[in-house]
A and B are shown apart, each in its own frame.
Chain A
Amino acid sequence: MQTQASRHAQGWLLLMPAAILLIAFTHYPTVATVIDSLFSKATAIRPSRFIGVLNYERMLDDPIFWKVLANNAWFALGTIPTSIALAIIMALFVNRALPGRALVRVAYFTPTILPMIAVANIWLFFYTPDIGLIDQIASGFGLPGHNWLGDPATVLPAIMVMTIWKEAGFFMIFYLAAMQNIPPELGEASQLEGASRWYYFRRVMFPLLMPTTLFVLINAVLNSFKLVDHLFVLTKGGPNNASNLLLYYIFETAFSYFETHFAAALTVVLLVLLGTMALAQFFLLDKRVHYR
């Protein structure tokens, strides 16, 4: 038998290649971001120096920072509950005998497989004022055209609708998997008892789907912070930051204004938000193991 020491060495050797890359592109940059956020921007006359929390003070005084944070919250609130509700409905539809079930399922799932950039390209035209599809349909009903993406009041809802279209089908498959794990006897028993299908869904199925809902919810929130691709095509965060989101603002700050230290402070906020999510997932989702 091998010695204990050689097992330790083998374990570490096997892990080494992955560990080096993980440290280089996840752990090191996380620490470096925190350190960078405490330094000032280097200029031609003055090198970068330690300034403590000045970047954070500037951030708290920055109206755009609060704007993008609020947008992120509205975006999450506007897309996630609707996506989840639609996902459950879709899963209920395709979880039973249905003519052409495979086709229906493909139709629901296909937006998920498209890149966000392509989705934004398609929807950009729908939202184009006057000649776009939505205004074309509206004019058929005698309604005036509207600049959906150019109006601060409608730009975020417009992007939300597109995001729901892209994500609902993705969440559907997790509900579908969960529904297939529900013993059919439960449905048969409630039918014998004369319970309505709505009652069965509300009192039996929905509680059993709770772990899935929690899983989907947390992943959806994470996604809402991480996915900003569509802004590059649709609005560039405009008009007047009405559709700007935190990660896009970080990108702008670092790569358009070259304020890398301020961008680092913004990134720290994003890291804290994601870390909180991670802890929530860890503690809440851990419970579902006990149900099994």
Chain B
Amino acid sequence: MKMTRSISQAFQTWLETGAAWLLALLWISPLVYAIWAAFHPGEYAVNFDLFAPLTLDNFREALSQAPFPRYALNTFMLVTMILAAQLILCTLAAYAFARFEFRGHKIAFALVLVQLMITPEILIVENYVTLAKFGLVDTILGIGLPYMASAFGIFLLRQAFKSTPKELEEAARLEGCGTMGVLWKVYVPLARPTYLAYGLVSISHHWNNFLWPLIVTNSVKTRPLTVGLGIFGAPESGVNWSIISAATLLSVAPLLVAFLLFQRQFVQSFMYAGIK
């Protein structure tokens, strides 16, 4: 009896391992297929041959048809600018909400949280009008501006600051730290895990963002990778599949490589940011 049970259990474990791996293979296969197509001549995209010759021509062709390095630079500038501004603005606002019981802070916080639901890309029409008024259409600053004050960032950092023991602040005050000194020397260093988690989520989100950048940009010098790829891949442009695969890989490679290298941090950051 006991014997059969352990055998059937072993069989079940084996079956589950197989199923887990099968699902994993299925899940990764679209990406693997895109990689395969990108590194082989166009005629092999539609018929499999394990010994098909490897080539970099698709990448060369993609690069000659669209300025992907420039798009990558734009994305890099955009993501860096948004993150830097978010870190500063959200830190200050979160500090205000966590440690200053100023008049009206409850209503103000509720108004901040509205942005969790109504993200800037919902209000594309009015936000475009606003950008046009300030002459910021087709600028990288224009793409980034609506995202710089992030309700999500304020919320996460407020939680982190609130959980910092007040005694630490008092000790720092006794040593002569002012309001900003306390923030910089006590609160910010202790919230490092939150900054890491928020930073990774913000970078992945804005690296991949498409709709709003599409609306704001109309030239090579501002277009991020996603928009460049969106235009490149448009069916009417009539480029072949292998070249589209190469272009797609060029666009996702920096973030994908970063993810594969630091996958533990990425997964934990998304987890951490989602649970809070």
Closest to A120 in B: B233
Q: Which of A164-190 contact B (CB under 8 A)?
A: 165, 169-170, 173-174, 176-177
Closest to A279 in B: B117
Beta-carbon contacts of B143-158 to A below 8 Å, as 1s and 0s? Answer: 0011011010010000
B100 contacts across to A, CB distance below 8 A: 7-8, 10-11, 14
A206 contacts across to B, CB distance below 8 A: none
The yes or no answer to A53 lying at the interface (CB within 8 A) is no
Contact A125 B241 (CB under 8 A): yes
Q: Which of A111-149 contact B (CB under 8 A)?
A: 111-118, 120-126, 128, 131, 133, 136
- B17 → chain A closest CB, angstroms: 6
Contact B126 A32 (CB under 8 A): yes
With known contacts A11-B102, A26-B123, A117–B233 Cβ distance under 8 A = yes
Contact A108 B24 (CB under 8 A): yes
Residue of A15, A122, A123 near B96 (CB, 8 A) is: A15
The yes or no answer to B46 lying at the interface (CB within 8 A) is yes
Contact B226 A15 (CB under 8 A): no
With known contacts A14-B95, A114-B208, A136–B46 Cβ distance under 8 A = yes
The yes or no answer to B259 lying at the interface (CB within 8 A) is yes
Q: Of the listed stretches A40-48, A66-74, A270-278, name the one at the interface; the rest are far from the partner chain.
A: A270-278
**Docked CA distance A229–B212 (Å):** 10
B214 contacts across to A, CB distance below 8 A: 232
The yes or no answer to A18 lying at the interface (CB within 8 A) is yes
Contact A26 B126 (CB under 8 A): no
- A87 → chain B closest CB, angstroms: 12
Residue of B121, B149, B247, B255 near A22 (CB, 8 A) is: B149
Contact B179 A18 (CB under 8 A): no
- B120 → chain A closest CB, angstroms: 5
Residue of B30, B101, B130, B267 near A24 (CB, 8 A) is: B130
The yes or no answer to B127 lying at the interface (CB within 8 A) is yes
- B18 → chain A closest CB, angstroms: 11
**Docked CA distance A263–B129 (Å):** 13
With known contacts A109-B267, A232-B230, A251-B211, A103–B46 Cβ distance under 8 A = no
A271 contacts across to B, CB distance below 8 A: 118, 122
Beta-carbon contacts of B231-262 to A below 8 Å, as 1s and 0s? Answer: 00111000001001101100110011001100
B114 contacts across to A, CB distance below 8 A: 26-27, 30, 278
Q: Of the listed stretches A54-62, A77-85, A90-98, A152-160, name the one at the interface; the rest are far from the partner chain.
A: A90-98
A17 contacts across to B, CB distance below 8 A: 88-89, 92-93, 149
Q: How many residues of B contact A (CB 8 A)?
A: 91
A30 contacts across to B, CB distance below 8 A: 114, 118, 123
Closest to B115 in A: A26
Contact A19 B124 (CB under 8 A): no
Contact B103 A8 (CB under 8 A): yes
Q: How many residues of A contact B (CB 8 A)?
A: 89
With known contacts A32-B126, A133-B33, A229-B211, A11–B230 Cβ distance under 8 A = no
**Docked CA distance A174–B111 (Å):** 27
The yes or no answer to B163 lying at the interface (CB within 8 A) is no
The yes or no answer to A264 lying at the interface (CB within 8 A) is yes
A136 contacts across to B, CB distance below 8 A: 46-47
With known contacts A11-B96, A36-B126, A125–B154 Cβ distance under 8 A = no
- A129 → chain B closest CB, angstroms: 12
Q: Of the listed stretches B50-58, B190-198, B268-276, name the one at the interface; the rest are far from the partner chain.
A: B268-276
Contact A226 B121 (CB under 8 A): yes
Residue of B23, B233, B255 near A113 (CB, 8 A) is: B255
B275 contacts across to A, CB distance below 8 A: 174, 177
- B39 → chain A closest CB, angstroms: 15
The yes or no answer to B210 lying at the interface (CB within 8 A) is yes
Nearest first, the 4 closest Cβ-Cβ pairs linking A and B are A11-B102, A11-B100, A29-B126, A115-B208
A-B contact pairs, 15 of them (CB 8 A): A10-B100, A11-B105, A17-B92, A18-B90, A18-B154, A30-B123, A93-B23, A106-B260, A107-B25, A122-B33, A125-B37, A226-B119, A233-B234, A247-B122, A277-B117
Which B residues lie at the A interface, using CB under 8 A? 16-17, 19-21, 23-25, 27-28, 30-31, 33-34, 37, 45-47, 88-90, 92-93, 95-97, 100-103, 105, 108, 111-112, 114-130, 145-146, 148-149, 151, 154, 179, 204, 207-211, 214-215, 225-226, 229-230, 233-235, 241, 244-245, 247-248, 251-252, 255-256, 259-260, 263, 266-267, 270-271, 274-275
Which A residues lie at the B interface, using CB under 8 A? 7-12, 14-15, 17-22, 24-30, 32-33, 36, 89-90, 93-94, 98-100, 102-118, 120-126, 128, 131, 133, 136, 165, 169-170, 173-174, 176-177, 215, 219, 222, 226, 228-229, 232-233, 247, 250-251, 254-255, 260, 263-264, 267, 270-271, 274-275, 277-278
Beyond A117-B208, A254-B125, A277-B117, list 16 extra A-B contacts (CB 8 Å). Answer: A7-B101, A10-B96, A15-B96, A17-B92, A17-B149, A24-B130, A25-B120, A93-B19, A108-B24, A110-B27, A114-B208, A124-B233, A124-B235, A165-B27, A222-B117, A274-B118
